[in-house]
C-alpha cells in the first residue's frame, strides 16, 4: 500500500489534504506512460496542440476561483495574490500555445555562397518527456513557465510539485485531463518529498526543469549527470534596486515596498537590496517606512500578504536580521519583534555591512536592506558583487541612462522604473546565472529550452565545383577555395 503524507495550512496547522508518496517504481511508470503519450501529442501537429492548450487555458480561467482557493489553502496567500498568480499562469500558457509554431516551426535559413546549391532549413523537435520539479512559493505560476512551454513544444510532462503544495499540482494535471480528453498521460503529477524528485531526475526523462535553492539544484544536477540528462535550473536571487538622485522617490518607494513584501518576500526575483544615491537615501528610507507602517500581514483574505509558507524560513529571516543588527546596521522599521510566527511583519534595515548575510544570501522574507552609495557606478558594482544574478531594477528620471545602467547589471532581467516588470511579459525570457541557475523559461528561448534543433539541407542542383566529391577536378577545387579565401580576406 502506498504511503501517504498530510499537507497542513501554514496559517492554522490544520490538515489541508493527504497525498500519496510516489516511489521510484511509480515515477518510472509515469514516465513510461508519458513517453507513449508524447508520441500521440506530437502527431497532433502545431494547430492541434495549440487548440488543445487554449482549451485548457480557457478551462483554467473559468476555474480561477477554485484554483486560487487551493493555492490559498496550501500557502496562506491572500485571495488577490492567489488569483493574480492564476492570471500570470494563464498569460504564459496563452503565449506559449499561440507562438510555438512561429518559434519552433521549420523555416528556411541562408545557405551562404559556399553552399548556394543547397536549400537550408532548421526546425525544432520535442525532446520527449520533461520532468518538472516545482517550488512552493508560486506553485502554479512558476512551474507553468516550464509545463506550458514544454507542452507547446510537443513534449509530455511529469510534474513533481513541492511537498508543501501537492494539491495544486494534482489539480493542474486533473484540469488538463478534463479539458483535453484523449491525452490522460500527457501531464501527470507525482507527489512526495525529496526522494520523489530524485526518482524523477533519475527516471530517464529527457530534461529536468527545476526551481528551488542552489543547494538542492546541485543535488539534482548530480543525479542528472549520471545519465547526462540536461537540466534547466532557476535557483533564486538577491535582487537589487538602484535609485538615482533624479528618480521619482514616491514611485521608487512604492515599487520597493511591493517588491520586497509581496508574497511575504517569498519571490525569487523580489527586492532584497536597495542602493540609493546618498543625496536621496534618507528621504527614500523615510518614504519606504511611511508605506510599510500601513502593512500588517494576517490570515484575512484581504491582508496585504500572508505567512512564511516554509516554517524553517523564519530561522533564516531571524538570522539575517540579527546578524546585520549586530554588525552595525540600523532598523529603520521593525526588528526582532517583527517575527510573530507564522508571520513576519515588515523589516527595513539601513547601513547594512556588505559582507552581512542579509546582503549576500537569499533571505526570502519581508526584509529589505537600503544602503547609500556615492553614485550609480558604485551601485552597479555592489549589485554585481554577489553570487546571484537573477533580476534587478533601476529608478531614474533619465530612461536612456536607466537602460545604459541596466546593460551593465549582470542580472538576467532588469526593469527600469518598475520592479518585476518582466514577469507579466510572456515574450521575455526569464532566468539567471551563477547561483541563480542556468537556462531560460518564458518567451521564445523558453520554448527552445524544451526542443532540439533539427538542421536539414536539400541539394537543389549540382554545383559547378563540388568540394564534397573525389571526382571533382583538383585544380578547379583549389581555384574555388582560393577564390573563397580572397573574398573572406577582403570582407
Q: Which residues are catalytic?
A: 234, 268
Asked if residues 63 and 82 have their Cβ atoms less than 8 Å apart, the reply is no
Tell which residue, 191, 142, 193, has the closest CA to residue 169: 191
Q: Which helix (H) or strand (E) holds 436?
A: none
Distance CA 454, CA 432 (A): 26
Q: How far apart (Å, rounded) are the C-alpha atoms in residues 182 and 387?
A: 46
- The torsion angles phi and psi of 350, rounded to 5 degrees, stand at -130, 155
- 3-state DSSP assignment of residue 328: coil
Cell numbers linked to 420: 518585476
Calpha distance 44→38 (Å, rounded) = 10
Report in angstroms the alpha-carbon separations of 53 from 44, 182, 430, 465: 12, 13, 22, 49
**Which DSSP string corresponds to 302-317?**
T-S----SSTTHHHHH
| Beta pairing class for 433-434 and 388-389 | antiparallel
| Grid coordinates belonging to 158 | 511529469
- Residues 6 or more apart from 374 whose CB is under 8 A from it? 277, 278
Length in residues, the chain:
491
Q: What phi and psi, each to the nearest 5 degrees, are found at residue 188?
A: -120, 150
d(CA 229, CA 206): 6
Cβ count near 105 (within 10 Å): 11
Report the 10 Å Cβ neighbour count for 202: 19
Amino acid at each position: 500500500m502506498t504511503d501517504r503524507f498530510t499537507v497542513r495550512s501554514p496559517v492554522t496547522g490544520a490538515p489541508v489534504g493527504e497525498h500519496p508518496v510516489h516511489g521510484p517504481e511509480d515515477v518510472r511508470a509515469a514516465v513510461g506512460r508519458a513517453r507513449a503519450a508524447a508520441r500521440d501529442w506530437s502527431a497532433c501537429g502545431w494547430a492541434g496542440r495549440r487548440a488543445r492548450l487554449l482549451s485548457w487555458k480557457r478551462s483554467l480561467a473559468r476555474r480561477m476561483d477554485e484554483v486560487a482557493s487551493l493555492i490559498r489553502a496550501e500557502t496562506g496567500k491572500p485571495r488577490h495574490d492567489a488569483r493574480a498568480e492564476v492570471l500570470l499562469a494563464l498569460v504564459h500558457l496563452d503565449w506559449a500555445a499561440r507562438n510555438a509554431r512561429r518559434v519552433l516551426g521549420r523555416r528556411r535559413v541562408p545557405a551562404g555562397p559556399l553552399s548556394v546549391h543547397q536549400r537550408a532549413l532548421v526546425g525544432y523537435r520535442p525532446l520527449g518527456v520533461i520532468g518538472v520539479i516545482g517550488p512552493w512559493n508560486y506553485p502554479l505560476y512558476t512551474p507553468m513557465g516550464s509545463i506550458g512551454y514544454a507542452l507547446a513544444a510537443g513534449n509530455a510532462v511529469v510534474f513533481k510539485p513541492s511537498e508543501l503544495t501537492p494539491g495544486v499540482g494534482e489539480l493542474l494535471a486533473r484540469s488538463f485531463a478534463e479539458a483535453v480528453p484523449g491525452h490522460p498521460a500527457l501531464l501527470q503529477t507525482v507527489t512526495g518529498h525529496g526522494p520523489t524528485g530524485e526518482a524523477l531526475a533519475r527516471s530517464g526523462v529527457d530534461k529536468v526543469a527545476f526551481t528551488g535553492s542552489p543547494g538542492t539544484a546541485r543535488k539534482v544536477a548530480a543525479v542528472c549527470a549520471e545519465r547526462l540528462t540536461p537540466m534547466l535550473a532557476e535557483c533564486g536571487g538577491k535582487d537589487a534596486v538602484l535609485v538615482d538622485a533624479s528618480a521619482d522617490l514616491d514611485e521608487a518607494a512604492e515599487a520597493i515596498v511591493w517588491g520586497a513584501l509581496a508574497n511575504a518576500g517569498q519571490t525569487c526575483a523580489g527586492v532584497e537590496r536597495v542602493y540609493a544615491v546618498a543625496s536621496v537615501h534618507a528621504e527614500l528610507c523615510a518614504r519606504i517606512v511611511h508605506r510599510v507602517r500601513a502593512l500588517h500581514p494576517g490570515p484575512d483574505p484581504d491582508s496585504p500578504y500572508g505567512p512564511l509558507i516554509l516554517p524553517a524560513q523564519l530561522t533564516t529571516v531571524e538570522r539575517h536580521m540579527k546578524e546585520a543588527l549586530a554588525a552595525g546596521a540600523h532598523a529603520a522599521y521593525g526588528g526582532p519583534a517583527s517575527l510573530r510566527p507564522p508571520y513576519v511583519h515588515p523589516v527595513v534595515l539601513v547601513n547594512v555591512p556588505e559582507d552581512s548575510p542579509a546582503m549576500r544570501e537569499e533571505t526570502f522574507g519581508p526584509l529589505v536592506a537600503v544602503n547609500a552609495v556615492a553614485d550609480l557606478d558604485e551601485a552597479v558594482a555592489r549589485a554585481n558583487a554577489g553570487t546571484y544574478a537573477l533580476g534587478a531594477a533601476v529608478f531614474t528620471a533619465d530612461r536612456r541612462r536607466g537602460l545604459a545602467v541596466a546593460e551593465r547589471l549582470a542580472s538576467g532581467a532588469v526593469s527600469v522604473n518598475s520592479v518585476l516588470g518582466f514577469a507579466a511579459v510572456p515574450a521575455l525570457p526569464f532566468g539567471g546565472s551563477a547561483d541563480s541557475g542556468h537556462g531560460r523559461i518564458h518567451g521564445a528561448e523558453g520554448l527552445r529550452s524544451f526542443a532540439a534543433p533539427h538542421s536539414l539541407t536539400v541539394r537543389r542542383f549540382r554545383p559547378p565545383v563540388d568540394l564534397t566529391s573525389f571526382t571533382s577536378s583538383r585544380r578547379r577545387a583549389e581555384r574555388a577555395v582560393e577564390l573563397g579565401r580572397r573574398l573572406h580576406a577582403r570582407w
